[in-house]
Amino acid sequence: MRYLPLLILLNFPFMACSQDHENREEKLHFPKDASYSKLVENNNNAYASAILGNGFAYGEGVVGDRAMEGRTFEFRFGKEISVPAFLDEKFRFDFIHFNEGHPDNNHRDGFAGQFVCRKPFNQKLNFEFGLGPYFSMNTTTIKGVQINDAKLGALLSVAALVDIERYSPGLHMRIALNHVSMPGAHSSVALLVGVGKYFDNVPARIQSESYGNPTWLGVTAGISQTNHGGSKGVPGFSAEAKKYYGSQWAGSISGIIEGDDEVRVHRQGVAVQGWFVQPLSENWAASAGIGPYVATNKRGSGDLQLHGLITLQVERFIAPKWKGLVSFSRVVSFQEENDRDLLRIGVMRLLDM
């Protein structure tokens, strides 16, 4: 599975936050018999989950084996929001990366935003219904030409959340059924199982007053993979300056060297992104960024071209002025043949003012 390392890295907050809770339990005097149902009653809780499974494609453009070959996975994070008119239901907005596996001639994945409604059934079981737009990119061959077919559709999710909070407050097993509806392309259905967690309403790490809107400088390195047959993953690098506005918003500018796949793409350029940042604990946060990316491709025309860049990122404080991070980005070239995935790890340091 090409993105298995990404899924493992994105599970770090669940494992680490569970350990952090155990280490803090005595100091915080957290009641050992606190139930998951009580924890999620707080409308301000952050949420994250990572699940994997299998499914099948059907409908327009599906030929050969429809199975996803067990390569289906989803990562999501979000925050509960208050809707006063509904007392028994809880609501949340999630950012999602969904990979639909590998049916024959259809390798589709993308990014979604969902409005989620959660209905408590009892203290051990909750049900969720989520619906929202899904921007997907499908590596497929049409009329003998392989392209990256970008389309906008809808992602519907129905999930059961089974309490396993004895390991960590808010931890649960997530069993989800995802359905993709895509105008002008095939649909899909997938069953996925994994873990999710509601995080305590822990404030973002408090900086000193001199860092009201802090600026961080960072460097990352990793693998760039062109979404086209015959290409290979190659080393890529980036440098970034990111300015935070409060605990949940940021803006960044990055210099990116994607690397040369020796087939289609040898690209580098500058990207500007706006970010939504969701603190998960005092030390952990997840974030989603989107923005324009201006770059040149030495294996193309060599001219400056405008692309899009979408990023999901998980970061952790490792010292008062240092953070480690792992990020997954998609370069959307709008040229149907040069889209790219960037999987990177790196560090950031607080810029002293």
pLDDT tens per residue across span 281-322: 888 999 999 999 999 999 988 899 999 999 999 999 999 999
Model pLDDT for residues 45-77, shown as the tens digit of each residue: 899 999 999 999 999 888 889 999 999 999 999
Predicted local confidence at residue 94, as pLDDT: 97
Model confidence, pTM: 0.85
Q: Which CATH number fits domain 4-199: 2.40.10.480, 2.40.160.20, 3.40.50.720, 3.40.47.10?
A: 2.40.160.20
Predicted local confidence at residue 143, as pLDDT: 83
CB atoms under 10 Å from CB of 32, counted, come to 8
Predicted local confidence at residue 201, as pLDDT: 66
Same fold, 4-199 and 209-350: yes
CA nearest neighbour of 80 among 249, 176, 200? 200
Record: fold of 209-350? Porin (2.40.160)
Predicted local confidence at residue 135, as pLDDT: 97
Residue with tokens 């952050």: 46
Predicted local confidence at residue 23, as pLDDT: 44
Predicted local confidence at residue 40, as pLDDT: 36
Domain ranges for the chain: 4-199, 209-350
Sites in the chain below the pLDDT cut of 50: 1-5, 8-9, 15, 18-19, 21-43, 206-210
Predicted local confidence at residue 343, as pLDDT: 97
Cα separation of 227 and 146, whole Å?
A: 10
Measured at the CA of 194, the angle between CA 189 and CA 195, to 5 degrees, comes to 135
Number of residues written out for the chain: 353
Predicted local confidence at residue 334, as pLDDT: 85
Between the CA of residue 80 and those of 2, 42, 87, 202, 303, what are the distances in Å?
Answer: 32, 8, 14, 14, 44
